[in-house]
C-alpha cells in the first residue's frame, strides 16, 4: 500500500481522531508582513461538511504517524496543508444542481486519460477500478470519502507509471541497477487538483525521447485497426551459406518477401519446392543484415536468425516492453553522451541528437551478462592492468595453475598478497583458496584489456575497453565477454570521446603507450548509458528489431502481463 493510499484511507475509519497534537506544526502556513516584520501565519480552514471532517481525520492520523524529518512526513505535511487551505473539501467530487454527487470536471478529464491509456502502453483496468463508482457511493459520506481515496490512488498510480514505469528494473534482472524515477505523490496530487488541464499534465509525464514517441506511434496502429504481419519464425539450424540447400529457405522467402523461383511443371509429377539459397534471396538477406548493422555477408547464423525472428512480427507486447524500458531512462540523456545497446552489439556517441561516432562492440555472454545502468565516464587508462575477477581466478586460472605452475608467467600475469608480488608456482593450489590472492595481468600488447580502457566507476566493475581478440568483431552475434564491453576501434572512439577535452586527444593517449599504467582524468564527465532495447526506431518511423540476447525482453513482457 502506498503512503498516499494509507494516508487517505485512514479517513474512512477515523471520524473523530484527536487533533490536539497538530497545534504547532500541522497547520497550513503563509508568509505575511506585520508592522514591517515578515512572519509566518497559520492558515487552516475548518471543515464545513461531514465529508470534509472525514478527510481531515484521515490526514491527521497519517500526519501523526509519520516520523518527523522523513520523506513521508514532508509529503503528508504538504498534503495536509493543501487540504487544510480548502476546508478539507474533496479534490475529485462535486455537487450537481440536483444535489447529487458526481466527479468534478477535472476528475472527468483524468478519467478520459485512463480510458485511453492503452495508447500509452498501459491497461485501463489498472486505473478504472471497480471502486471508482460514483453512483454506488450515493450521498453516504463514508462511501464518498472512500471514492475520493480511490480516485486519488488511481491518479497517482497512473502518474507514477507514466513517469517511471510499472515494473522495477531489478525485478527483470538483479544487475539492472537503473536509478528508479519517483514522483512526489503529494505534490503531484496538488498539481493535478490545481491544474485546469490535469489530463495534459499526466500525459506530459511520459518520455519525450524520439524513439519512445516512435514506439508510441507504432502502438497506435494496433488500436487503429492496422493489421500487423503474421509472425514468421525461422528455426535455428546449421550455418546457412549462399548456394546451400535448406528447408528453411521457404520461410526465409516469406519473411523477406522474396518470390519463389519459377519451376517448370511436369505432367504427373509431384509439386516441388525450391530450397536453394539462391542469389535473389542472398541479396535480400544482405540488405536485411546491413540495415541492422550486421555483417552483410549473406551468411545466416545465430545473430541473423535472432534478428529475423525479432523483427518478423513487431508485436504489441514487444512495443510496450520497450516503451517501459524508456520510462526507466533519465529524462536528460546529456547533450554529449555514450550509449551501448546490448542487443544491437553497438556503441555510439551522440552530440546534440546527432551521431558523432559509432562502432561495434562485444558484450557479455548470456552467462556473464553485461549489466544495464547509467553512469559517467571519468577516466581513461592507458596500458591498463587487468585485475582478474575472482570468478575467473577460481574457474579458469586455478585449473591451469594446478596443471602448470608457470601458467601466470606465460600469460604475463602476476599474483599479489598484501600488495606484494608472490611466487604462484611455489603454492600447492590443490589445497589453497586462490581468492586469498589478487591476480592481475601486466600491461602489454596481449593484455585482455588491450591498450586502453574507459572507466565509469560502478558497482558492477564494468567498463569499456580495447581487446587483442579482434576477430570477434567480424561476427554478427557478439556476446562473448565476461561482462565488460569491448570496443572495436578504441583509439577512434577515444578521439571522438575527447571532443570536449581541448588538451587531450587520441594522439595524447598513443604517446603514452608502453609498459606503465597511465591514468588520464576527464575535465568533463561524459554520461554513459548501458541499455537493452530490442526495438529501435529510425527518424522515418521504421522499426529495427534485434534479438533478445539475454531473454530479458521476454521476461519483462511476462511481468507486464501479470
Q: What does the alpha-carbon distance between residue 314 and residue 229 come to, in Å, rounded to a whole number?
A: 8
Copy the grid coordinates of residue 50. Answer: 461531514
484 classed as catalytic: yes
Q: What does the alpha-carbon distance between residue 33 and residue 435 come to, in Å, rounded to a whole number?
A: 69
* Residue 43 and residue 30 in contact, taking contact as beta carbons nearer than 8 Å: yes
Secondary structure of residue 344 in the 3-state scheme: helix
Q: What does the alpha-carbon distance between residue 330 and residue 207 come to, in Å, rounded to a whole number?
A: 9
Which position has the grid cell 508582513? 33
Q: What does the alpha-carbon distance between residue 505 and residue 501 come to, in Å, rounded to a whole number?
A: 7
Q: Which of 379, 465, 482, 529 is catalytic?
A: 465
- ∠ CA 129-134-136, rounded to 5°: 95
Q: What does the alpha-carbon distance between residue 87 and residue 84 come to, in Å, rounded to a whole number?
A: 5
Q: What is the strand order of the sheet 386-387 is part of?
A: 386-387, 438-441, 413-417, 420-422
> How many C-beta atoms lie closer than 10 Å to residue 431's C-beta?
6
Secondary structure (H, E, C), 282-314: HHHHHHHHHHCCCCCCCCECHHHHHHHHHHCCC
Copy the grid coordinates of residue 377. Answer: 565516464
Q: Which of 87, 438, 460, 484 is catalytic?
A: 484
DSSP single-letter state for residue 451: T
Copy the grid coordinates of residue 478. Answer: 557478439
Copy the grid coordinates of residue 42. Answer: 497559520
* Residue 393 and residue 414 in contact, taking contact as beta carbons nearer than 8 Å: no
Q: What does the alpha-carbon distance between residue 368 and residue 479 come to, in Å, rounded to a whole number?
A: 9
Residue 13: C-alpha distances to residues 6, 10, 60, 65, 495 (Å): 11, 6, 12, 15, 65
Q: What does the alpha-carbon distance between residue 423 and residue 225 come to, in Å, rounded to a whole number?
A: 71
Residue 557's closest CA among 319, 222, 310?
Answer: 319
Residues contacting residue 412 through CB under 8 Å, at least 6 positions apart: 441, 442, 444, 446, 447
Residue 552's closest CA among 169, 123, 240?
Answer: 169
Q: Which residues of 299-309 are buried (b: 16+ CB within 10 A; e: fewer)?
A: bbbbbbbbbbb
* Residue 315 and residue 257 in contact, taking contact as beta carbons nearer than 8 Å: no
> How many C-beta atoms lie closer than 10 Å to residue 71's C-beta?
14
Paired with 535 in beta bridges are 545
Query: Which are the catalytic amino acids?
Result: 465, 484
Amino acid at each position: 500500500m502506498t503512503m498516499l493510499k494509507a494516508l487517505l484511507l485512514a479517513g474512512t475509519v477515523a471520524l473523530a481522531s484527536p487533533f490536539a497534537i497538530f497545534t504547532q506544526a500541522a497547520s497550513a502556513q503563509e508568509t505575511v508582513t506585520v508592522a514591517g516584520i515578515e512572519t509566518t501565519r497559520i492558515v487552516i480552514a475548518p471543515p464545513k461538511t461531514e465529508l470534509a471532517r472525514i478527510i481531515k481525520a484521515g490526514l491527521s492520523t497519517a500526519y501523526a504517524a509519520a516520523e518527523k524529518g522523513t520523506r513521508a512526513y514532508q509529503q503528508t505535511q504538504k498534503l495536509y496543508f493543501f487540504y487544510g487551505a480548502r476546508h478539507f473539501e474533496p479534490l475529485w467530487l462535486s455537487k450537481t444542481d440536483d444535489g447529487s454527487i458526481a466527479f468534478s470536471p477535472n476528475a472527468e478529464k483524468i478519467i478520459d486519460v485512463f480510458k485511453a491509456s492503452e495508447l500509452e502502453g498501459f491497461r485501463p483496468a489498472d486505473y478504472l477500478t471497480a471502486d471508482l463508482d460514483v453512483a454506488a457511493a450515493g450521498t453516504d459520506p463514508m462511501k464518498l470519502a472512500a471514492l475520493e481515496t480511490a480516485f486519488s490512488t488511481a491518479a497517482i498510480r497512473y502518474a507514477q507509471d507514466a513517469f517511471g514505469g510499472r515494473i522495477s528494473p531489478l525485478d527483470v534482472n538483479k544487475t539492472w541497477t537503473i536509478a528508479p524515477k519517483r514522483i512526489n505523490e503529494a505534490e503531484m496530487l496538488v498539481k493535478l487538483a490545481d491544474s485546469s488541464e490535469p489530463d495534459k499534465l499526466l500525459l506530459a509525464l511520459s518520455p519525450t525521447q524520439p524513439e519512445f514517441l516512435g514506439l508510441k506511434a507504432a502502438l497506435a496502429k494496433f488500436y487503429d485497426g492496422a493489421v500487423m504481419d503474421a509472425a514468421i519464425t525461422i528455426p535455428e539450424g546449421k550455418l546457412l551459406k549462399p548456394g546451400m540447400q535448406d528447408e528453411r529457405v521457404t520461410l526465409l522467402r516469406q519473411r523477406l518477401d522474396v518470390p519463389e523461383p519459377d519451376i517448370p511443371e511436369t505432367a504427373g509429377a509431384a509439386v516441388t519446392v525450391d530450397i536453394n539459397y539462391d542469389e535473389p534471396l542472398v541479396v535480400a538477406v544482405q540488405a536485411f543484415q546491413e540495415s541492422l548493422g550486421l555483417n552483410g555477408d549473406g551468411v545466416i547464423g545465430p545473430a541473423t536468425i535472432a534478428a529475423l525472428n525479432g523483427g518478423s512480427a513487431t508485436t504489441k507486447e514487444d512495443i510496450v516492453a520497450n516503451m517501459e524500458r524508456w520510462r526507466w531512462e533519465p529524462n536528460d540523456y546529456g547533450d554529449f553522451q555514450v550509449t551501448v545497446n546490448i542487443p544491437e552489439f553497438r556503441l555510439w556517441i551522440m552530440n546534440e541528437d546527432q551521431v558523432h561516432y559509432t562502432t561495434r562492440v562485444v558484450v557479455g555472454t548470456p552467462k556473464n551478462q553485461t549489466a544495464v545502468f547509467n553512469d559517467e565516464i571519468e577516466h581513461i587508462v592507458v596500458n591498463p592492468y587487468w585485475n582478474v575477477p575472482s570468478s575467473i581466478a577460481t574457474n579458469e586460472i586455478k585449473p591451469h595453475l594446478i596443471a602448470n605452475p608457470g601458467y601466470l608467467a606465460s600469460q604475463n600475469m602476476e599474483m599479489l598478497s598484501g600488495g606484494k608480488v608472490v611466487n604462484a608456482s611455489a603454492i600447492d593450489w590443490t589445497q589453497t583458496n586462490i581468492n586469498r590472492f589478487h591476480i592481475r595481468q601486466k600491461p602489454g600488447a596481449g593484455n585482455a584489456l588491450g591498450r586502453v580502457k574507459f572507466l565509469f566507476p560502478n558497482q558492477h566493475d564494468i567498463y569499456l575497453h580495447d581487446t587483442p581478440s579482434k576477430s570477434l568483431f567480424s561476427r554478427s552475434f557478439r556476446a562473448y565477454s565476461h561482462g565488460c564491453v569491448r570496443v572495436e576501434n578504441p583509439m577512434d572512439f577515444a578521439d571522438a570521446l575527447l571532443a570536449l577535452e581541448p588538451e587531450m586527444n587520441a594522439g595524447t593517449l598513443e604517446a603514452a603507450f608502453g609498459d606503465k599504467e597511465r591514468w588520464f582524468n576527464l575535465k568533463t564527465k561524459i554520461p554513459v548509458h548501458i541499455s537493452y532495447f530490442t526495438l529501435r526506431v529510425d527518424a522515418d518511423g521504421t522499426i529495427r528489431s534485434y534479438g533478445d540476447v539475454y531473454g530479458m525482453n521476454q521476461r519483462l513482457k511476462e511481468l507486464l502481463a501479470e
